[in-house]
Amino acid sequence: MREQVISELERTGVPFTVNAPMHTYTTWKIGGRCDLIVFPRTIEEISAAVRILNAEAVPWMVIGKGSNMLVSDEGFRGAVLRLAGEWDTASFNEDGVLAGGGFSLITLSLQAAKHGFAGLEFAGGIPGTVGGAVCMNAGAHGSDVSQILSRAFVMDEKGDAFWLEARDLAFSYRESVLQRKPWIVLKALFSLSRGDRLTIAENTKRYKEKRMRTQPLKQPSCGSVFRNPLPLFAAEILESCGLKGYSIGGAQISGLHANFIVNTGGATADDVRALIRLAQARAKQERGVDLVTEVKFVGFSSE
C-alpha cells in the first residue's frame, strides 16, 4: 500500500488495518489478504477515505458482513471499506426504522419484532448487512427489501452523499441500480407497520426455525449461491442433477440445501469456484437452465 495513503489516513484519524486476511471478514471463511481495510465511522471519515483512495488511484470496494462474496486465494490488491460507528446503528421511530448500512439485517429484524413493527420478519435469517440487502434487494418468504424501503442515503464514487427514493433504485428480483454503480449505502429508511408483537414474534420465530431445519447455518457459507430461475428453484434443480453433497476439495454442495456451498474445512476459493462452475454446467446440460450467481467474485483475474 502506498505510503501516501497510509499517511493521509493517519492524518484524518480513520481506523485501518494493513495486509489484512480477508478470510476473517467473509462468512465463507475464505480469501487471501487485502492491502488495506478501512473502518470509517462517520460521514466525514468515509468521504475522506474515498477521496484519499481516489487521489492515489487505489482500487477500493465496500463489504458488510462478507456474505455473498468469494475472495480469491490471492486476495485483493486494493482497499476494503467496512462500515463502522454510526453506520452500524439503528433507530426506531413511529413510522419505522433508520438503519446504518453496516447494521446486521438479522439483528434489525429481531429488533423490529421487539418494537412491534411488522414488515421485516422475512429478514430474520438473511446473513449480511442493511447496505448489502438494499443493494441486492434481499428477500425471502415472498417479501423483499423493495416492499418496505422508503429511501436510501448513498455515497457515490467521488465521496458525495445524497438521498435516493426507493423508486430511483430500479428494484427487481435480487437486483437494483446500485449493483451497477460503485456507490455505498450508508443508511436506509424502512417504512414499517405497527402490529401485534406476539404475532410478529411468532412469524419471525417460525421463519428462523424453518431456516435452521432446511439450511446449513452452522457451517461457513455465503448464503444462497444462485438466484432462483423463477418459477423454478435453484436448489431443486441442483438436487435433481444429483449434486447434493458433491464436493471439490474442502467445498461441498450442502446435503441439507443444494443452493448452499459450505466450507467443510480448509476450502479454497478455487474449490468453491470450481464447484460453482460444475453446478452451472450440469444445470445447463441436464435441465437447460442458466444458473446466475448471487455471489460477487473478488480478486479473480478472469472475473
Catalytic residue among 151, 174, 273, 282: 174
Q: Cβ atoms within 10 A of the Cβ of 124, count?
A: 25
Q: 242: left (phi > 0), else alpha (psi -120 to 50), else beta?
A: left
Catalytic residue among 72, 109, 146, 224: 224
Q: Please report, as a single letter, which amino acid is at residue 210.
A: K
Stretch (H or E) spanning 35: strand 33-38
Does 286 participate in catalysis according to the annotation? no
Q: Please report, as a single letter, which amino acid is at residue 74.
A: E
Catalytic residue among 8, 45, 121, 294: 294
Does 224 participate in catalysis according to the annotation? yes
Number of H helices, E strands in the chain: 7, 18
Does 174 participate in catalysis according to the annotation? yes
Q: Where are the beta strands (DSSP E) in the chain?
A: 16-21, 33-38, 60-63, 69-71, 76-82, 90-93, 96-100, 117-118, 139-140, 143-144, 149-155, 161-165, 184-191, 193-194, 247-248, 251-253, 261-263, 296-298
Question: What amino acid positions are annotated as catalytic residues?
Answer: 174, 224, 294
